[in-house]
Structure 1
Amino acid sequence: MSSILTNNSAMVALQTLKSVNNSMTETQSQISTGKRVASAKDNSAVWAISKVMESDVKGFNAISESLSLGESTVAVARNASETVTDLLTQMKGKIISANESNVDRNKIQTDISALTDQIKSVVGAAQFNGLNLLSGTDDVNVLSSLDRANDGSVSSSDITVTRQDMTYDAGVMGTGATLAGNISETLGSNSLAGVAGDEFSNSANTMTIQVAAGTAGSSNTYNLQVAGETVTFTSAASGNTNDSIAAGITAALNAAGIEDITATVATDTITISSLSKFDDVEVNMTTSDAAVTFDVNAGGATAGGAGFSGETLEARASEVAFSATAAVSEGDGYRVSIDGTNYDYVAGKNETFEDVARGLKTAVDGAGLANVTTKVTYDSDNEQWVLQLDNDGADLSLAVDGNAGGTATGGLAGLDDLDVTTDNGAAAALQNIETFIDSSIDAAAAFGSVEGRIETQSEFIGKLTDSLKSGIGSMVDANMEEVSARLQALQVQQQLSVQAMSIANQAPQALLSLFR
């Protein structure tokens, strides 16, 4: 049936042409934009995901800039720390020279002062964009990542850069909770116990050995070992007494010339005196005389023949011991007072009682007290760090204290107080320069470690950003080869659709022939 009112063929051709034109429009849009999903109407789910990922890419670009800034800042601090280490090593060479004889210590001190000023200049200039990681103790956080959880929430991650305070600041003792329980002084046995201020003096420590009982035999050998050196006395063939045995051993000991050791005798009792500052002196006795007994420090007689061993003549120095169990927190300050003058050290972050002991040693040494010398040791028996202080002059008072809540002492505090113009000063400087070198090496190593971490994170962020961009592209970018081929096909379809439309429109014309 033919109709001039309804042309089904034309309608079908028209719909086909519209479909082809729509596809042509879509294809041309993909070609012009390069995107398969250019707006939410193209594919709302894919478009939403891509936009979230695009925002993450912009965030990671900002993080990359943050990491670059942080890496540069840390690199400056690391280079400065390495430079300080080199300068301190040069200073150590000067100090070693000052401990030699026949040198001009004043000229060496001038060189050391110049190196000290140079180190201070390096530390002061070690800043990037106004941030100096060699000054202060506050941590610096470098933004390193954005972490998106499954629920869509976003959190940031940081790389913490711990400052390494390499300043000369003395620190400030706090007024917080008392820390007196973490520090205690033990006066040397030579000290004047009970005297106001707990004075410690320069007198010798002593040990008594009484040749106590029995009848001395003939031609016996007595071997007395003091400070690792053995002296030998052989008794006469006859006429020996406890007094003569004591006198003979005393004479042999004095003749040996053991450093810091002297002996006197009174009847049958030997008194050994030790001026050893920091080292305990062990005393042992062996003998072939089974007839005599020895009474050490009136502590009970030991039979002859067996002798005695393991007796200790304590070091002269007084000791400041630190807790074996307590922790050290930033701002914890500890004080040693010598003759009314305070010497303080305030701990920084992640420090230990070893750092506190060495800091106090540096503070005391820096004062240049003519007759006071110091040494830091570790008491392995009690598992605690100990600061030993020896006084080789007039009696001095000694007291200790501690409080929390202070401002930390700089890592190079006391460096500008090194003085090699005296024997004690040169010896103390040689010990303390090692502490300063260790501090600068630790600082450079810490900065090097975190710089490597920032560099690794920066590389990862770059690769992650590229991966995100690639993922976004795979979701929204158009396949240009496919679109190009499709366009050509659609162009052919469009031409055929137009031709079909023309044919369909011509069909009613055939009806006119029926009316001729």
Structure 2
Amino acid sequence: MSSILTNNGAMVALQTLNSINSDLSKTQSMISTGKDVASAKDNSSVWAISKVMESDVAGFKAISDSLALGESTLAVASEAAETVTDLLTDIKEKVVSAQEENVDRDKIQTDIDALIGQVKSVIGAAQFNGLSLVEGTDDVNVLSSLDRASDGTVTASDITVSRQDLSTSAGTYGSGTSLAANATASDTAVANTANTAVVTVGNTWAADDVATLSVAGVDVSFTATGTAVADVADGLAGVINGLGLEGVTATGNGDGTLTISSTNAFEDIAVTTGETTAGDGDVLITALNGTTGLTDTSGSIDERAESVAFSTSAAVKEGDGYKVTVGGSSYNYVAGKGESMEDVARGLKTAIDSAGLDDISTTVSKDADTGQWSLKVDNDGSSLAFSVTGNEGGEASGGLFGLDSIDVTTNAGADAALGNIETLINNSIDAAASFGSAQGRIETQSSFISNLTDALTSGIGSMVDADMEEASAKLQALQVQQQLGVQSLSIANQAPQTILSLFG
């Protein structure tokens, strides 16, 4: 049935044309934007995921900038630490040359002062955008990642870079909790008093009996000419004195005993007695280092120096300060972050050496059996009070503490400088190594972030980007369909005209 009121064919043709136009509009949008999902109405779930990932990509690009800034800052600090190491090595060469007494130490000191000034200049200039990693102790955090959990929570991750304080500051001794229990002085005074061993020659002697003795690893012997024990003791004393051992003397006491004395500051002297080759003439150590009543065949005369023994179990925290008193003056060192009892002992040594005290010499040692670190202080003059204490809550001394005080114009100063410059070189080497390690981490993370950003960008594209080959082919097909739809609608609209012929 035909109707002039309702044209079903035109309605169908119009619907088809509208559908084609809609698809054509979407395809043209894909081609113009390059995206299959350009807005939430295209595909809400995919659009939402892509927007989250796009925000992550934007964040990672900012992280790349942060890593680049951190890498540049570290590069400056690393170059400074390596330069300081080279300068300290130059100073060491000067210190070594000053060990000879027939050189112009004043001129050598002038060169050393110039090098010290250069070290300070390098440290002062080693900053990037106002941030220096070679002064102070606070850690610096470099933003390295954004970590998204399965529940959508995002947290920032950092690479922590430890500052390496290469300043020459003395620090500030604190007034916090006492640390006195972590350090023990061997005596309340330090003096030039020799330590001794008393050797007793006893029992029966006959002519041609031979008494043997070992002092500091050197064997000595004395052949008796008669039966008098006093003669044997005095004879052994004479042989020992004839050895010319540094700091070691022996005295026959005229009663069958001899006293072996040692003024060696930092060296124990081993003493071992022997039997005679005939008879029963025993030789025994009956007193050692002030302890009497011994009947030993071997022992050691203690070094003259007094010591500060540090705990093998207590941890060292930043700001922990230890103070050694020698005579009427005190010398302190305040530990920095990550330091140990070895650092404390060496810091105190530097503090005492920096004072340039007459007759005072120091060394640092580690017990091979217990691992305990000790600071040893020797006094070649009159007796001085000696004590140690400690407190928390101070401000750390710089890693090059004591550099300012290197003085090779005297024998004592040159000797002290040789040990202290080694400590300073090790500190600068450790700083450079720490910076190098952090640089490696940041470079690795920077490379990873760059690759991760590329991967995320590619993933987003695979979800929302249009397939341009497919879109182009579809555009051409839809344009043809659109032309056919227009023609179909035109034909459908002409259908009612045929009804007019029925009324002609």
Give TM-score, length-normalised by structure 1.
Answer: 0.94
Residue number in structure 2 paired with 1:274: 262
Cα deviation, 1:431-453, whole Å, max 9, x if unaligned, reads 11100000000000001110111
Matched, 1:393 2:381: yes
What is the deviation of 1:30? 0.8
Within 5 Å, which residues of 2 pair with 1:454-465? Answer: 454-465=442-453
Within 5 Å, which residues of 2 pair with 1:82-121? Answer: 82-121=82-121
Contact 1:293 1:301 in 2 (8 A): no
Residue number in structure 2 paired with 1:346: 334
Q: Aligned match of 1:285 in 264, 273, 282?
A: 273
2 CA distance for matches of 1:179 and 1:101?
42
Contact 2:361 2:416 in 1 (8 A): yes
Cα deviation, 1:29-73, whole Å, max 9, x if unaligned, reads 111111111111111111111111111111111111111111111
Residue number in structure 1 paired with 2:205: 216
What is the deviation of 1:242? 1.2
Matched, 1:244 2:231: yes
Secondary structure in structure 1 of the residue aligned to 2:387 = strand
Residue number in structure 2 paired with 1:195: none
Contact 2:190 2:377 in 1 (8 A): no
Residue number in structure 2 paired with 1:378: 366
Q: Which amino acid aligns with 1:401?
A: T
Q: Which amino acid aligns with 2:229?
A: N
Cα deviation, 1:462-490, whole Å, max 9, x if unaligned, reads 11111111111111111111100100000
Q: Aligned match of 2:469 in 461, 478, 481?
A: 481
What is the deviation of 1:251? 1.1
2 CA distance for matches of 1:269 and 1:472?
96
Residue number in structure 2 paired with 1:207: 197
2 CA distance for matches of 1:429 and 1:221?
47
Q: Which amino acid aligns with 2:148?
A: R
Flag structure 2 segments of 5+ consecutive residues without an equivalent: none
What is the deviation of 1:290? 4.7
2 CA distance for matches of 1:234 and 1:125?
73
Q: Which amino acid aligns with 2:79?
A: N
Q: Which amino acid aligns with 1:79?
A: E
Contact 1:4 1:508 in 2 (8 A): yes
Q: Aligned match of 2:314 in 326, 333, 346?
A: 326
Q: Which amino acid aligns with 1:404?
A: E
1 CA distance for matches of 2:135 and 2:153?
37
Give TM-score, length-normalised by structure 2.
Answer: 0.97
2 CA distance for matches of 1:385 and 1:290?
47
Cα deviation, 1:385-426, whole Å, max 9, x if unaligned, reads 000000001221111110000000001111010111111111
Matched, 1:263 2:257: no
Residue number in structure 1 paired with 2:162: 162
Residue number in structure 2 paired with 1:65: 65
Contact 2:204 2:279 in 1 (8 A): no
Contact 1:294 1:301 in 2 (8 A): no
Contact 2:80 2:123 in 1 (8 A): yes
Contact 2:92 2:421 in 1 (8 A): yes
Contact 1:373 1:391 in 2 (8 A): yes
2 CA distance for matches of 1:161 and 1:424?
39
2 CA distance for matches of 1:301 and 1:11?
129
Residue number in structure 2 paired with 1:498: 486
Cα deviation, 1:84-128, whole Å, max 9, x if unaligned, reads 000000010000000023111110011011101110111011111
1 CA distance for matches of 2:209 and 2:70?
79
* Percent identity for Structure 1 against Structure 2: 60
Secondary structure in structure 2 of the residue aligned to 1:134 = coil
Question: How many matched pairs?
Answer: 497
Cα deviation, 1:292-321, whole Å, max 9, x if unaligned, reads 22342143446xxxxx23x11000000011
Cα deviation, 1:217-237, whole Å, max 9, x if unaligned, reads 33233221111111222223x
Contact 2:147 2:157 in 1 (8 A): yes
Q: Aligned match of 1:421 in 409, 424, 440?
A: 409
Contact 1:228 1:282 in 2 (8 A): yes
Secondary structure in structure 2 of the residue aligned to 1:71 = helix
Matched, 1:366 2:354: yes
2 CA distance for matches of 1:425 and 1:455?
44
Secondary structure in structure 1 of the residue aligned to 2:249 = strand
Secondary structure in structure 2 of the residue aligned to 1:127 = coil
Q: Which amino acid aligns with 1:99?
A: Q
Contact 1:217 1:291 in 2 (8 A): no
What is the deviation of 1:382? 3.4
Residue number in structure 1 paired with 2:133: 133
Residue number in structure 2 paired with 1:192: none
Secondary structure in structure 2 of the residue aligned to 1:19 = helix
Q: Which amino acid aligns with 1:80?
A: A
Q: Aligned match of 1:253 in 240, 262, 265?
A: 240
Q: Which amino acid aligns with 2:333?
A: Y
Distance 1:78 1:494, change over 3 A: same
Q: Aligned match of 1:299 in 274, 293, 296?
A: 293
Contact 2:349 2:363 in 1 (8 A): yes
1 CA distance for matches of 2:405 and 2:353?
8
Q: Which amino acid aligns with 2:219?
A: T
Contact 1:229 1:258 in 2 (8 A): no
1 CA distance for matches of 2:39 and 2:262?
93
